[in-house]
Amino acid sequence: MVKLSWQERFAFRFIFSEKRVYHKWYGRFLLFGTDYGRLRRVVARVAHWQQWCREWTMEGDVVYKKAEFALAEGNLCTARALFHEAVACYHAGQHIFFIDSQQKERTQEKARMSYRKAISLYNETDRPLRVEIPFNGVRIPGYLRRSSTPNQPLIIFVNGMDNIKEAEGHHFGSLFNQQGFNFFTFDGPGQGELWKELKFDAREYHKSVSAIMDWFEQQQLCEIDMNRIGLVGFSLGGYLAPVAAAHDPRVKCTVGNSGLTYIGGLHGLQRLNPIWQRGVTYMTGCETLEEAVQSFDYDIAQEPALRSPLLFYHAGKDEVMPSPRTHADKIMSWAKGEKTLRYFEDGEHCTMNYLDEVFPEMLDWFKSRLES
Protein backbone atom coordinates (compact mmCIF):
# COMPACT_ATOMS: atom_id res chain seq x y z
CA MET A 1 0.00 0.00 0.00
CA VAL A 2 1.30 3.45 -0.89
CA LYS A 3 2.17 5.89 1.86
CA LEU A 4 -0.85 8.07 2.60
CA SER A 5 -0.85 11.65 3.77
CA TRP A 6 -2.64 12.44 7.01
CA GLN A 7 -5.40 14.10 5.01
CA GLU A 8 -5.86 10.91 2.99
CA ARG A 9 -5.80 8.69 6.07
CA PHE A 10 -8.50 10.85 7.64
CA ALA A 11 -10.59 10.95 4.46
CA PHE A 12 -10.34 7.23 3.73
CA ARG A 13 -11.20 6.23 7.29
CA PHE A 14 -13.88 8.74 8.26
CA ILE A 15 -15.28 10.43 5.13
CA PHE A 16 -15.40 7.68 2.51
CA SER A 17 -18.40 5.71 3.72
CA GLU A 18 -21.69 4.40 2.42
CA LYS A 19 -23.61 7.47 3.54
CA ARG A 20 -21.24 9.95 1.92
CA VAL A 21 -19.75 8.08 -1.04
CA TYR A 22 -20.44 4.39 -1.62
CA HIS A 23 -24.17 4.70 -2.33
CA LYS A 24 -23.40 6.90 -5.34
CA TRP A 25 -21.61 3.97 -6.97
CA TYR A 26 -24.45 1.47 -6.59
CA GLY A 27 -26.05 2.26 -9.94
CA ARG A 28 -22.74 1.57 -11.64
CA PHE A 29 -22.18 -1.71 -9.81
CA LEU A 30 -25.71 -2.91 -10.53
CA LEU A 31 -25.23 -1.95 -14.16
CA PHE A 32 -22.40 -4.40 -14.77
CA GLY A 33 -23.96 -7.33 -12.96
CA THR A 34 -23.65 -7.03 -9.19
CA ASP A 35 -26.64 -8.43 -7.33
CA TYR A 36 -28.17 -5.79 -5.03
CA GLY A 37 -28.45 -8.14 -2.06
CA ARG A 38 -24.81 -9.13 -2.44
CA LEU A 39 -23.81 -5.48 -2.72
CA ARG A 40 -25.54 -4.66 0.56
CA ARG A 41 -23.98 -7.63 2.33
CA VAL A 42 -20.45 -6.80 1.23
CA VAL A 43 -20.67 -3.08 1.95
CA ALA A 44 -21.94 -3.88 5.45
CA ARG A 45 -18.60 -5.61 6.11
CA VAL A 46 -16.53 -2.59 5.04
CA ALA A 47 -15.61 -0.54 8.10
CA HIS A 48 -13.35 1.87 6.17
CA TRP A 49 -11.98 2.39 2.67
CA GLN A 50 -8.75 0.44 3.18
CA GLN A 51 -10.88 -2.73 3.52
CA TRP A 52 -12.87 -2.17 0.33
CA CYS A 53 -10.81 -4.21 -2.13
CA ARG A 54 -10.18 -7.06 0.32
CA GLU A 55 -13.85 -7.60 1.15
CA TRP A 56 -15.00 -7.54 -2.46
CA THR A 57 -12.18 -9.86 -3.52
CA MET A 58 -13.15 -12.36 -0.83
CA GLU A 59 -16.73 -12.23 -2.07
CA GLY A 60 -15.57 -12.73 -5.64
CA ASP A 61 -13.57 -15.78 -4.58
CA VAL A 62 -16.67 -17.31 -2.98
CA VAL A 63 -18.75 -16.75 -6.12
CA TYR A 64 -15.95 -18.03 -8.37
CA LYS A 65 -15.78 -21.30 -6.41
CA LYS A 66 -19.54 -21.71 -6.75
CA ALA A 67 -19.17 -21.17 -10.51
CA GLU A 68 -16.47 -23.84 -10.73
CA PHE A 69 -18.68 -26.28 -8.79
CA ALA A 70 -21.60 -25.59 -11.13
CA LEU A 71 -19.33 -26.13 -14.13
CA ALA A 72 -18.10 -29.44 -12.74
CA GLU A 73 -21.72 -30.52 -12.28
CA GLY A 74 -22.48 -29.66 -15.90
CA ASN A 75 -24.73 -26.71 -15.04
CA LEU A 76 -23.39 -24.42 -17.74
CA CYS A 77 -25.97 -21.61 -17.50
CA THR A 78 -25.42 -21.34 -13.74
CA ALA A 79 -21.66 -21.45 -14.14
CA ARG A 80 -21.62 -18.70 -16.77
CA ALA A 81 -23.85 -16.42 -14.69
CA LEU A 82 -21.72 -16.95 -11.59
CA PHE A 83 -18.44 -16.34 -13.42
CA HIS A 84 -19.88 -13.00 -14.62
CA GLU A 85 -21.05 -12.26 -11.05
CA ALA A 86 -17.52 -12.94 -9.81
CA VAL A 87 -16.19 -10.49 -12.41
CA ALA A 88 -18.59 -7.88 -11.02
CA CYS A 89 -17.36 -8.48 -7.46
CA TYR A 90 -13.69 -8.31 -8.44
CA HIS A 91 -14.25 -5.17 -10.48
CA ALA A 92 -16.15 -3.48 -7.66
CA GLY A 93 -13.22 -4.29 -5.37
CA GLN A 94 -10.45 -2.96 -7.60
CA HIS A 95 -12.51 0.00 -8.80
CA ILE A 96 -10.61 3.22 -7.97
CA PHE A 97 -8.61 1.34 -5.30
CA PHE A 98 -5.49 3.27 -6.27
CA ILE A 99 -3.94 3.24 -2.80
CA ASP A 100 -2.52 -0.27 -3.33
CA SER A 101 -1.62 -0.99 -6.94
CA GLN A 102 -0.42 -4.53 -6.20
CA GLN A 103 -3.65 -5.50 -4.46
CA LYS A 104 -5.65 -3.76 -7.18
CA GLU A 105 -3.81 -5.59 -9.95
CA ARG A 106 -4.20 -9.01 -8.28
CA THR A 107 -7.94 -8.50 -7.99
CA GLN A 108 -8.20 -7.15 -11.52
CA GLU A 109 -6.40 -10.23 -12.84
CA LYS A 110 -8.97 -12.39 -11.07
CA ALA A 111 -11.67 -10.45 -12.92
CA ARG A 112 -9.95 -11.16 -16.23
CA MET A 113 -9.59 -14.85 -15.41
CA SER A 114 -13.23 -15.17 -14.39
CA TYR A 115 -14.33 -13.36 -17.55
CA ARG A 116 -12.37 -15.78 -19.73
CA LYS A 117 -14.14 -18.64 -17.96
CA ALA A 118 -17.54 -17.01 -18.49
CA ILE A 119 -17.16 -16.34 -22.21
CA SER A 120 -15.81 -19.84 -22.84
CA LEU A 121 -19.35 -21.02 -22.05
CA TYR A 122 -20.98 -18.96 -24.84
CA ASN A 123 -21.81 -20.50 -28.18
CA GLU A 124 -19.44 -19.61 -31.00
CA THR A 125 -21.74 -17.00 -32.52
CA ASP A 126 -22.35 -15.02 -29.33
CA ARG A 127 -18.92 -15.37 -27.70
CA PRO A 128 -16.94 -12.11 -27.35
CA LEU A 129 -13.88 -12.41 -29.61
CA ARG A 130 -10.52 -11.62 -28.00
CA VAL A 131 -8.52 -9.15 -30.11
CA GLU A 132 -4.97 -7.81 -29.63
CA ILE A 133 -3.99 -4.80 -31.71
CA PRO A 134 -0.33 -3.71 -32.20
CA PHE A 135 0.36 -0.18 -30.93
CA ASN A 136 3.63 1.53 -29.93
CA GLY A 137 5.45 -1.74 -29.29
CA VAL A 138 2.64 -3.29 -27.21
CA ARG A 139 -0.75 -4.83 -27.96
CA ILE A 140 -4.06 -3.20 -27.13
CA PRO A 141 -6.29 -5.93 -25.64
CA GLY A 142 -10.00 -5.92 -26.34
CA TYR A 143 -13.14 -7.90 -27.07
CA LEU A 144 -15.35 -7.68 -30.14
CA ARG A 145 -19.06 -8.41 -29.92
CA ARG A 146 -20.11 -9.37 -33.44
CA SER A 147 -23.44 -8.49 -35.02
CA SER A 148 -25.45 -11.41 -36.31
CA THR A 149 -26.10 -9.38 -39.47
CA PRO A 150 -23.27 -8.57 -41.91
CA ASN A 151 -22.19 -5.03 -42.83
CA GLN A 152 -23.37 -3.37 -39.64
CA PRO A 153 -21.72 -0.33 -37.92
CA LEU A 154 -18.92 -0.55 -35.36
CA ILE A 155 -19.23 1.13 -31.96
CA ILE A 156 -15.96 1.56 -30.04
CA PHE A 157 -16.24 2.04 -26.27
CA VAL A 158 -13.55 4.29 -24.75
CA ASN A 159 -12.83 3.51 -21.10
CA GLY A 160 -12.75 6.01 -18.27
CA MET A 161 -10.22 6.27 -15.48
CA ASP A 162 -11.01 2.87 -14.03
CA ASN A 163 -13.38 0.91 -16.25
CA ILE A 164 -12.26 -2.51 -17.39
CA LYS A 165 -13.37 -4.14 -20.60
CA GLU A 166 -14.62 -7.26 -18.78
CA ALA A 167 -17.22 -5.41 -16.66
CA GLU A 168 -18.83 -2.22 -17.99
CA GLY A 169 -17.43 -2.99 -21.43
CA HIS A 170 -19.16 -6.36 -21.50
CA HIS A 171 -22.51 -4.96 -20.34
CA PHE A 172 -22.42 -2.08 -22.80
CA GLY A 173 -21.52 -4.57 -25.52
CA SER A 174 -24.63 -6.63 -24.74
CA LEU A 175 -26.87 -3.56 -25.04
CA PHE A 176 -25.39 -2.46 -28.36
CA ASN A 177 -25.18 -6.00 -29.74
CA GLN A 178 -28.89 -6.53 -29.08
CA GLN A 179 -29.55 -3.55 -31.35
CA GLY A 180 -27.51 -5.04 -34.18
CA PHE A 181 -24.23 -3.15 -33.70
CA ASN A 182 -20.74 -4.57 -33.71
CA PHE A 183 -19.14 -3.41 -30.46
CA PHE A 184 -15.49 -3.23 -29.42
CA THR A 185 -14.32 -2.64 -25.85
CA PHE A 186 -10.65 -2.31 -24.96
CA ASP A 187 -8.15 -1.28 -22.31
CA GLY A 188 -6.12 1.67 -23.56
CA PRO A 189 -2.90 3.21 -22.24
CA GLY A 190 -3.00 3.50 -18.44
CA GLN A 191 -6.14 1.35 -18.22
CA GLY A 192 -6.90 -2.20 -17.13
CA GLU A 193 -4.81 -4.92 -18.70
CA LEU A 194 -2.59 -2.48 -20.63
CA TRP A 195 -1.64 -0.42 -17.56
CA LYS A 196 1.45 -2.51 -16.78
CA GLU A 197 2.94 -2.00 -20.23
CA LEU A 198 1.84 1.49 -21.26
CA LYS A 199 0.84 4.41 -19.06
CA PHE A 200 -1.61 7.20 -19.78
CA ASP A 201 -0.84 10.39 -21.66
CA ALA A 202 -3.89 12.53 -22.45
CA ARG A 203 -2.16 14.12 -25.45
CA GLU A 204 -1.47 10.75 -27.10
CA TYR A 205 -4.50 8.65 -26.22
CA HIS A 206 -6.40 9.40 -29.43
CA LYS A 207 -3.68 7.60 -31.39
CA SER A 208 -4.65 4.29 -29.76
CA VAL A 209 -8.24 4.72 -30.99
CA SER A 210 -7.02 5.44 -34.53
CA ALA A 211 -4.78 2.36 -34.34
CA ILE A 212 -7.85 0.27 -33.52
CA MET A 213 -9.66 1.57 -36.59
CA ASP A 214 -6.56 0.97 -38.73
CA TRP A 215 -6.44 -2.65 -37.57
CA PHE A 216 -10.11 -3.34 -38.25
CA GLU A 217 -9.76 -1.85 -41.73
CA GLN A 218 -6.74 -4.05 -42.47
CA GLN A 219 -8.35 -7.22 -41.10
CA GLN A 220 -11.74 -6.71 -42.72
CA LEU A 221 -13.01 -8.76 -39.80
CA CYS A 222 -16.54 -10.10 -39.51
CA GLU A 223 -17.94 -8.03 -42.40
CA ILE A 224 -18.03 -4.79 -40.39
CA ASP A 225 -19.05 -1.62 -42.26
CA MET A 226 -16.00 0.55 -41.56
CA ASN A 227 -17.72 3.54 -43.14
CA ARG A 228 -20.04 3.65 -40.13
CA ILE A 229 -18.03 4.01 -36.92
CA GLY A 230 -19.26 5.56 -33.67
CA LEU A 231 -17.47 6.20 -30.39
CA VAL A 232 -18.92 6.23 -26.88
CA GLY A 233 -17.16 7.11 -23.62
CA PHE A 234 -18.14 7.64 -19.98
CA SER A 235 -16.32 9.71 -17.32
CA LEU A 236 -12.73 10.32 -18.53
CA GLY A 237 -13.81 8.44 -21.65
CA GLY A 238 -16.45 11.14 -22.08
CA TYR A 239 -13.54 13.47 -22.85
CA LEU A 240 -11.30 10.99 -24.66
CA ALA A 241 -13.96 9.77 -27.11
CA PRO A 242 -14.91 13.20 -28.57
CA VAL A 243 -11.22 14.17 -28.83
CA ALA A 244 -10.41 10.91 -30.65
CA ALA A 245 -13.28 11.63 -33.04
CA ALA A 246 -11.98 15.14 -33.65
CA HIS A 247 -8.59 13.71 -34.62
CA ASP A 248 -9.93 11.00 -36.95
CA PRO A 249 -12.60 11.78 -39.59
CA ARG A 250 -13.45 8.07 -39.92
CA VAL A 251 -15.59 8.51 -36.79
CA LYS A 252 -19.08 9.47 -37.93
CA CYS A 253 -20.61 10.32 -34.54
CA THR A 254 -19.83 10.27 -30.81
CA VAL A 255 -21.59 10.04 -27.45
CA GLY A 256 -19.81 11.35 -24.35
CA ASN A 257 -21.00 11.26 -20.76
CA SER A 258 -19.59 13.41 -17.92
CA GLY A 259 -16.23 14.19 -19.46
CA LEU A 260 -13.84 16.44 -17.57
CA THR A 261 -13.00 18.82 -20.43
CA TYR A 262 -10.04 20.63 -18.90
CA ILE A 263 -7.68 20.21 -15.95
CA GLY A 264 -6.11 23.59 -15.24
CA GLY A 265 -2.57 22.45 -14.51
CA LEU A 266 -1.29 21.37 -11.14
CA HIS A 267 -3.80 23.58 -9.33
CA GLY A 268 -6.62 21.79 -11.11
CA LEU A 269 -5.31 18.37 -10.13
CA GLN A 270 -4.95 19.52 -6.53
CA ARG A 271 -8.65 20.47 -6.49
CA LEU A 272 -9.67 16.86 -7.16
CA ASN A 273 -10.57 14.73 -4.16
CA PRO A 274 -7.88 12.34 -2.84
CA ILE A 275 -9.19 9.26 -4.65
CA TRP A 276 -9.04 10.92 -8.07
CA GLN A 277 -5.62 12.39 -7.33
CA ARG A 278 -4.40 8.85 -6.67
CA GLY A 279 -6.04 7.82 -9.93
CA VAL A 280 -4.02 10.43 -11.82
CA THR A 281 -0.70 9.19 -10.44
CA TYR A 282 -1.72 5.56 -10.93
CA MET A 283 -2.68 5.98 -14.60
CA THR A 284 0.45 7.93 -15.46
CA GLY A 285 2.81 5.77 -13.37
CA CYS A 286 4.03 8.81 -11.45
CA GLU A 287 4.76 9.23 -7.75
CA THR A 288 3.37 12.76 -7.38
CA LEU A 289 0.90 15.11 -9.02
CA GLU A 290 3.83 17.37 -9.91
CA GLU A 291 5.28 14.55 -12.01
CA ALA A 292 1.91 13.50 -13.42
CA VAL A 293 0.70 16.91 -14.57
CA GLN A 294 2.69 16.74 -17.80
CA SER A 295 0.71 13.67 -18.91
CA PHE A 296 -2.64 14.58 -17.33
CA ASP A 297 -3.01 18.29 -18.04
CA TYR A 298 -5.28 18.99 -20.98
CA ASP A 299 -7.86 21.43 -22.32
CA ILE A 300 -10.36 20.43 -24.99
CA ALA A 301 -10.27 23.96 -26.40
CA GLN A 302 -6.72 23.25 -27.59
CA GLU A 303 -7.76 20.17 -29.58
CA PRO A 304 -8.97 20.24 -33.21
CA ALA A 305 -12.63 21.18 -33.33
CA LEU A 306 -15.11 18.31 -33.62
CA ARG A 307 -17.03 18.44 -36.92
CA SER A 308 -19.06 15.22 -36.69
CA PRO A 309 -22.27 14.83 -34.61
CA LEU A 310 -21.97 14.80 -30.82
CA LEU A 311 -24.46 13.81 -28.12
CA PHE A 312 -23.14 14.81 -24.71
CA TYR A 313 -24.55 14.06 -21.27
CA HIS A 314 -23.62 15.92 -18.12
CA ALA A 315 -24.74 15.97 -14.51
CA GLY A 316 -25.31 18.98 -12.28
CA LYS A 317 -24.38 17.08 -9.10
CA ASP A 318 -21.29 15.39 -10.50
CA GLU A 319 -19.13 14.81 -7.42
CA VAL A 320 -16.00 14.02 -9.46
CA MET A 321 -15.40 17.45 -10.93
CA PRO A 322 -15.69 21.05 -9.77
CA SER A 323 -18.19 23.24 -11.67
CA PRO A 324 -19.77 20.56 -13.92
CA ARG A 325 -21.82 23.10 -15.88
CA THR A 326 -18.59 24.77 -16.99
CA HIS A 327 -17.41 21.51 -18.55
CA ALA A 328 -20.73 20.98 -20.32
CA ASP A 329 -20.69 24.49 -21.79
CA LYS A 330 -17.04 24.18 -22.80
CA ILE A 331 -17.51 21.03 -24.85
CA MET A 332 -20.58 22.51 -26.53
CA SER A 333 -18.56 25.58 -27.48
CA TRP A 334 -15.72 23.41 -28.81
CA ALA A 335 -17.89 21.14 -31.00
CA LYS A 336 -18.63 22.80 -34.33
CA GLY A 337 -20.87 20.21 -36.01
CA GLU A 338 -24.28 18.91 -35.01
CA LYS A 339 -24.37 18.82 -31.20
CA THR A 340 -26.85 18.05 -28.45
CA LEU A 341 -26.38 18.58 -24.72
CA ARG A 342 -28.49 16.57 -22.26
CA TYR A 343 -27.91 18.18 -18.89
CA PHE A 344 -29.47 16.59 -15.79
CA GLU A 345 -29.50 19.22 -13.06
CA ASP A 346 -29.77 16.65 -10.26
CA GLY A 347 -27.77 13.97 -12.08
CA GLU A 348 -24.77 12.26 -10.47
CA HIS A 349 -21.49 11.34 -12.17
CA CYS A 350 -22.11 9.72 -15.58
CA THR A 351 -25.84 10.37 -15.04
CA MET A 352 -25.89 7.13 -13.05
CA ASN A 353 -29.29 7.97 -11.58
CA TYR A 354 -30.80 8.44 -15.05
CA LEU A 355 -29.38 5.53 -17.04
CA ASP A 356 -32.85 4.10 -17.61
CA GLU A 357 -33.41 7.13 -19.85
CA VAL A 358 -29.87 7.64 -21.13
CA PHE A 359 -29.18 4.22 -22.65
CA PRO A 360 -32.30 3.88 -24.83
CA GLU A 361 -31.90 7.47 -26.00
CA MET A 362 -28.23 6.89 -26.79
CA LEU A 363 -28.99 3.73 -28.78
CA ASP A 364 -31.69 5.49 -30.79
CA TRP A 365 -29.31 8.38 -31.48
CA PHE A 366 -26.60 6.07 -32.81
CA LYS A 367 -29.12 4.22 -34.94
CA SER A 368 -30.34 7.42 -36.58
CA ARG A 369 -26.81 8.71 -37.25
CA LEU A 370 -25.35 5.42 -38.46
CA GLU A 371 -28.23 4.10 -40.55
CA SER A 372 -27.17 2.73 -43.92
**Residue 1 — very low, low, confident or very high, per pLDDT cuts 50/70/90?**
low
Residue 6 pLDDT greater than 80, yes or no: no
Q: Once rounded to an integer, what is the mean pLDDT over residues 219-223?
A: 78
Q: What is the residue-averaged pLDDT of the chain? A: 93
Task: Identify the pLDDT of residue 140.
Answer: 98
What is the pLDDT averaged over residues 151-180?
A: 95
Per-residue model confidence as pLDDT tens digits over 304-336: 999 999 999 999 998 887 788 999 999 999 999
pLDDT tens for each residue of 172-181: 999 999 999 9
Q: pLDDT band at residue 158, thresholds of 50, 70 and 90?
A: very high
The proportion of the chain whose per-residue pLDDT surpasses 90, expressed as a percent, equals 82
DSSP type of residue 309: -
Q: Any idea which of 23-37, 85-99, 150-164, 196-210 has the lowest mean pLDDT? A: 23-37
Q: How confident is the model at residue 138 (pLDDT cuts 50, 70, 90)?
A: very high
Kindly list the structural domains of the chain, giving each domain's residue range(s) and its CATH number in brackets, ordered by start: 1-121 (1.20.1440.110), 127-262+298-372 (3.40.50.1820)
Kindly report the number of other CB atoms within 10 A of residue 265's CB atom.
Answer: 12
Asked if residue 60 has pLDDT above 80, the reply is yes
Q: Collapse the DSSP code of 104 into the 3-class scheme (helix H, G, I; strand E, B; otherwise coil) and give the result.
A: helix
pLDDT in tens, 224-263: 999 999 999 999 999 999 999 999 999 999 999 998 999 9
Chain CA centroid to CA 155, Å: 14
Instruction: Give residue 15's pLDDT band: very low, low, confident or very high (50, 70, 90).
Output: low
One-letter identity of residue 354? Y
Given this model, what pLDDT does residue 372 score? 66
